Amino acid sequence: MGTIRRHAAVTGAVAALALGLSACGSGDDTAAQSDQGGGQGQAPSSAPPSSSGDGGMNDGMTTADDVFGPGCSQVPTDPNDEGSVQGMVDDPVGTAASNNPLLKKLTAAVKSAGLVDTLNKQDANYTVFAPADPAFDEIPADQLDALLNDPEMKEDLTKTLTFHVVPERMDAAGLVDAGSVETVQGGEVKIGGSADAPTVNGAKVLCGNVPTANATVFVIDEVLQPGKQ
């Protein structure tokens, strides 16, 4: 991402999550995890299955079998682990992201912005572009700290994070077919590439089509900045 000035950096950092992606954070949220349904312990595929020709499987709904991407190998494969793909299925995206080992920094940002409850709405349907932890390493530590802890930065943090959330569920094929999607923040995100290797404003998808109870998550390798494509 390069060097980011204080506002942009902070903003970008926060972007993380929406990320899915979102994350979850509060002790109550993580403590409330329930036993996950039985899944299979096999690792996610490196490529997504073909979807229906009208753009999306089951209106953006995906299953553990639909998950794809090189970064998926870093996700636990034990179906009893709440951070595994199978373990995330039954939790809302805020809680699910908090258990994912790729999204710890995003989780902290979401919690700081006070968006956990919003992301965990049971009746919501989201698509979340969740920056993986290494994406935050491009932001200077002092700027990231200010973004997460300075009350005056909360509005910017919120705008950045909501720029990573689309108010409907979409799978990889549906996103690529659309070409661009409007975010909760109000800005537009461009989708490029192909269904098996999509990009989000140029960011690569590390692990996509990840299902949660109320969202489809795409872990990406950059934090997105509103107004920059």
Cis ω before 21 (30° cut-off from 0): yes
225 domain-assigned: no
Is 27 a residue whose pLDDT tops 50?
no
Distance separating alpha carbons of residues 172 and 72, to the nearest angstrom: 15
Task: Judge contact between 83 and 107, C-beta under 8 A.
Answer: no
What number is the average pLDDT over the span 127-134? 96
15 domain-assigned: yes
CATH of the domain at 187: 2.30.180.10
Q: Indicate the residue type of 59.
A: D
The pLDDT assigned to 117 comes to: 96
Task: Judge contact between 222 and 205, C-beta under 8 A.
Answer: no
Residues 6+ apart with CB under 8 A from 201: 189, 190, 222, 224, 228, 229
Distance separating alpha carbons of residues 82 and 221, to the nearest angstrom: 22
36 domain-assigned: no
- Tell me which residue has tokens 């109320």: 214
- The total domain count for the chain is 1
39 domain-assigned: no
45 domain-assigned: no
Distance separating alpha carbons of residues 113 and 16, to the nearest angstrom: 11
| Each residue's pLDDT tens digit, 131-151 | 999 998 888 888 888 888 899
Please state which of the ranges 44-53, 122-131, 151-160 shows the lowest mean pLDDT. 44-53
pLDDT band with cut points at 50, 70 and 90 for residue 89: very high
User: Residue 149: which H helix or E strand, with range?
Assistant: helix 141-149
- At 89 the three-state DSSP class reads coil
pTM flag (> 0.95): no
Residues 6+ apart with CB under 8 A from 125: 60, 167, 168, 169, 214, 215
Average pLDDT, the chain: 80
88 domain-assigned: yes
| Each residue's pLDDT tens digit, 172-214 | 999 999 999 999 999 999 999 999 999 999 999 999 999 999 9
64 domain-assigned: yes
- Tell me which residue has tokens 């934090």: 223
Neighbours of 145 (CB within 10 A): 13
Compute CA distances 30 → 2, 56, 200, whole Å: 33, 31, 29
66 domain-assigned: yes
97 lies in which domain range?
6-31+58-220
Query: Which has the higher per-residue pLDDT, 171 or 43?
Result: 171
